Amino acid sequence: MRNKILIFITASIVFGVALFQLSGNADIGMSGISTPPVGIGSTSITTLGTVTTGTWEGTKIGIEYGGTNATNATDARTNLGLGTLATQNADAINATGGNVTGLTNLGAANLTVTGTANVTGVTWTGLVPTFVDGSSSTDLTVAQVSSTIIGNPTQSGNVTHVLPAIEAGLGFDAILGLTAAFYFRLDPNANDSIYLDGVSCGDGKYIGLTTVTVGDAISCRAMKTGASSYDWACYTAKGAFACE
């Protein structure tokens, strides 16, 4: 049932703190004020629209709803299966055909790269040739023939360097920086052979120079010759190196 009220005058009605202005003809139905606004006092918000301000203090938003199910960055990374690459101390990092950037504090023991990888934003400290002073005769260690440069800056007599038993990956360069009337020899292990410019000198036979001259140089690398056997492959860059 609807009630009709014909209003001929303008009336001001004070109701609580609200001021209502009624004028002209008004058709007021009881049903028009019987339904409360949608969402007021409800447990769900369905017509709010976009929230642009405020601080969320409700339940954590689950991953399935676009959240991280966390309230801090550490838990968020854990929940999403992520890590902080730039600050972690990993035992190894594998990069397969991609880019590794911004590794400011990696501390990795091994970096394995498969394919082509561009490494930027780091200071390279591995595989830098180390200088070994070979001015005097000595038995060289594995470390001294691992990506090293052997020189003779203060050689004052004949020099013979005995090489260690060959292992996979060994290699060195001998680059002489002194001219003197002394010989300089590289003597392999008794069971190893030096191939000088592609020709074997025989097991245990040295190669060397009768007289050293500035700029004489030779490059030697471990050469696998069997399932578990190696020899030295040495190639002359400059100088009269010869077999024993």
Q: What's the confidence (pLDDT) of residue 179?
A: 95
pLDDT in tens, 108-121: 556 666 666 666 66
Find out whether 214 and 188 touch, Cβ atoms under 8 Å.
Answer: no
Q: Say if residue 160's pLDDT is above 90.
A: yes
pLDDT given at position 59 = 84
Give the list of residues 6+ apart from residue 24 with CB closer than 8 angstroms, or none: 7
Residue environment code for 132-146, b if the CB has 16+ CB neighbours within 10 A, otherwise e: bebbeeeebeeebbb
Confidence at residue 127, expressed as pLDDT on a 0 to 100 scale: 59
**Paired tokens of 138:** 């000595």
At 170, which amino acid appears?
A: L
Tell me what the mean pLDDT of segment 9-38 comes to: 47
Over range 47-53, report the average pLDDT: 67
Q: Residue 186's pLDDT is what?
A: 98
**Position 181, amino acid:** A
The sign of the CA dihedral 47, 51, 56, 61 is positive
pTM: 0.52
Rounded CA-CA distance 186/191 in Å is 14
Lowest mean pLDDT among 10-24, 38-52, 70-84, 86-100: 10-24
Residue 209, SS3?
strand
CA distance 168 to 223: 8
Query: What domains are defined for the chain?
Result: 130-243 (2.60.120)
